[in-house]
Amino acid sequence: MYAEPGIIEKILRESGDTWAVVGLSNNRRRAAYGVAEVLRRYGKRVVPVHPKAEAVGGEQGYASLGDVPFPVDVVDVFVRSELAGAVADEAVSVGAKAVWFQLGVVDEAAYERTRTAGLDMVMDRCPAIEIPRLSTGGGLR
Protein backbone atom coordinates (compact mmCIF):
# COMPACT_ATOMS: atom_id res chain seq x y z
CA MET A 1 0.00 0.00 0.00
CA TYR A 2 1.35 3.37 -0.99
CA ALA A 3 -0.02 5.59 1.77
CA GLU A 4 0.98 5.90 5.38
CA PRO A 5 -1.87 5.30 7.85
CA GLY A 6 -4.16 8.30 8.05
CA ILE A 7 -2.67 10.10 5.02
CA ILE A 8 -5.66 9.49 2.74
CA GLU A 9 -8.04 11.00 5.27
CA LYS A 10 -5.65 13.87 6.00
CA ILE A 11 -5.36 14.77 2.31
CA LEU A 12 -9.10 14.57 1.73
CA ARG A 13 -10.15 16.42 4.89
CA GLU A 14 -7.29 18.77 5.77
CA SER A 15 -4.95 19.47 2.87
CA GLY A 16 -7.19 22.06 1.22
CA ASP A 17 -9.87 22.30 -1.40
CA THR A 18 -7.94 23.35 -4.54
CA TRP A 19 -7.03 20.26 -6.52
CA ALA A 20 -5.03 20.40 -9.75
CA VAL A 21 -5.96 17.36 -11.83
CA VAL A 22 -3.07 16.67 -14.20
CA GLY A 23 -4.37 14.97 -17.33
CA LEU A 24 -7.92 16.36 -17.06
CA SER A 25 -9.57 17.25 -20.36
CA ASN A 26 -13.13 17.45 -21.66
CA ASN A 27 -13.01 13.82 -22.75
CA ARG A 28 -15.88 12.40 -20.68
CA ARG A 29 -14.72 8.83 -21.38
CA ARG A 30 -11.48 9.33 -19.45
CA ALA A 31 -11.29 8.42 -15.77
CA ALA A 32 -9.94 11.88 -14.90
CA TYR A 33 -13.22 13.46 -15.96
CA GLY A 34 -15.31 11.23 -13.68
CA VAL A 35 -12.97 11.67 -10.73
CA ALA A 36 -13.05 15.45 -11.21
CA GLU A 37 -16.86 15.32 -11.03
CA VAL A 38 -16.69 13.42 -7.73
CA LEU A 39 -14.17 15.89 -6.31
CA ARG A 40 -16.44 18.81 -7.27
CA ARG A 41 -19.47 17.09 -5.76
CA TYR A 42 -17.60 16.95 -2.46
CA GLY A 43 -16.69 20.63 -2.49
CA LYS A 44 -13.26 20.59 -4.12
CA ARG A 45 -12.20 23.20 -6.66
CA VAL A 46 -10.84 21.24 -9.64
CA VAL A 47 -8.22 22.94 -11.79
CA PRO A 48 -7.51 21.17 -15.10
CA VAL A 49 -3.84 20.77 -16.06
CA HIS A 50 -3.40 19.42 -19.57
CA PRO A 51 -1.20 20.38 -22.54
CA LYS A 52 -4.31 21.73 -24.34
CA ALA A 53 -5.02 24.07 -21.37
CA GLU A 54 -8.73 23.79 -22.05
CA ALA A 55 -11.42 24.83 -19.59
CA VAL A 56 -13.23 21.92 -17.96
CA GLY A 57 -16.32 22.22 -15.80
CA GLY A 58 -16.18 26.00 -15.99
CA GLU A 59 -12.64 26.15 -14.61
CA GLN A 60 -9.79 27.59 -16.69
CA GLY A 61 -7.23 25.00 -17.71
CA TYR A 62 -3.44 25.35 -17.63
CA ALA A 63 -0.72 23.64 -19.64
CA SER A 64 1.41 22.90 -16.55
CA LEU A 65 1.34 23.25 -12.78
CA GLY A 66 3.79 26.12 -13.08
CA ASP A 67 1.24 28.05 -15.16
CA VAL A 68 -1.43 27.97 -12.44
CA PRO A 69 -1.45 31.54 -11.04
CA PHE A 70 -2.72 30.66 -7.56
CA PRO A 71 -1.81 28.12 -4.86
CA VAL A 72 -2.73 24.48 -5.44
CA ASP A 73 -3.28 22.29 -2.39
CA VAL A 74 -3.34 18.80 -3.90
CA VAL A 75 -2.02 17.54 -7.25
CA ASP A 76 -3.98 14.55 -8.56
CA VAL A 77 -1.97 12.79 -11.28
CA PHE A 78 -3.56 11.01 -14.27
CA VAL A 79 -0.49 10.41 -16.43
CA ARG A 80 1.53 7.28 -17.19
CA SER A 81 3.87 6.13 -14.44
CA GLU A 82 6.97 7.05 -16.44
CA LEU A 83 5.77 10.69 -16.58
CA ALA A 84 4.41 10.93 -13.05
CA GLY A 85 7.72 11.59 -11.28
CA ALA A 86 8.23 14.85 -13.17
CA VAL A 87 4.73 15.94 -12.18
CA ALA A 88 5.45 15.13 -8.53
CA ASP A 89 8.65 17.16 -8.71
CA GLU A 90 6.71 20.07 -10.19
CA ALA A 91 4.14 19.77 -7.39
CA VAL A 92 6.96 20.17 -4.89
CA SER A 93 8.31 23.20 -6.74
CA VAL A 94 4.92 24.99 -6.82
CA GLY A 95 4.36 24.46 -3.10
CA ALA A 96 1.54 21.91 -3.14
CA LYS A 97 0.73 20.21 0.16
CA ALA A 98 0.05 16.76 -1.26
CA VAL A 99 0.36 14.59 -4.36
CA TRP A 100 -2.04 11.83 -5.32
CA PHE A 101 -1.07 9.28 -7.99
CA GLN A 102 -4.16 7.59 -9.42
CA LEU A 103 -4.83 3.86 -9.71
CA GLY A 104 -2.10 2.23 -11.77
CA VAL A 105 0.27 5.21 -11.47
CA VAL A 106 3.33 4.00 -9.56
CA ASP A 107 6.78 5.56 -9.20
CA GLU A 108 8.41 4.56 -5.94
CA ALA A 109 11.37 6.93 -6.40
CA ALA A 110 8.97 9.86 -6.91
CA TYR A 111 7.04 8.75 -3.82
CA GLU A 112 10.22 8.88 -1.73
CA ARG A 113 11.34 12.25 -3.19
CA THR A 114 7.94 13.78 -2.56
CA ARG A 115 7.72 12.50 1.02
CA THR A 116 11.32 13.65 1.69
CA ALA A 117 10.33 17.12 0.45
CA GLY A 118 7.64 17.19 3.16
CA LEU A 119 4.52 16.59 1.08
CA ASP A 120 1.88 14.02 1.87
CA MET A 121 1.52 11.44 -0.88
CA VAL A 122 -0.76 8.62 -1.94
CA MET A 123 0.04 6.33 -4.85
CA ASP A 124 -2.04 3.79 -6.81
CA ARG A 125 -5.33 4.86 -5.18
CA CYS A 126 -8.38 6.87 -6.28
CA PRO A 127 -10.00 9.70 -4.33
CA ALA A 128 -13.35 8.93 -5.98
CA ILE A 129 -13.23 5.55 -4.23
CA GLU A 130 -11.83 6.87 -0.94
CA ILE A 131 -14.15 9.88 -0.48
CA PRO A 132 -17.36 7.82 -0.14
CA ARG A 133 -15.62 5.58 2.38
CA LEU A 134 -14.83 8.61 4.53
CA SER A 135 -18.23 10.15 3.96
CA THR A 136 -20.00 7.17 5.52
CA GLY A 137 -17.91 7.73 8.63
CA GLY A 138 -18.88 11.33 9.32
CA GLY A 139 -18.66 13.14 6.02
CA LEU A 140 -16.01 15.03 4.18
CA ARG A 141 -17.51 18.45 4.54
Per-residue pLDDT of 49-68, as tens digits, reads 999 999 999 999 999 999 99
3-state helix, strand, coil in the chain (%, to 5): 40, 20, 45
Say what the pLDDT of residue 95 is: 98
Average pLDDT estimate for 22-48: 96
* Residue 99: C-alpha distances to residues 12, 27, 28, 136 (Å): 11, 23, 23, 24
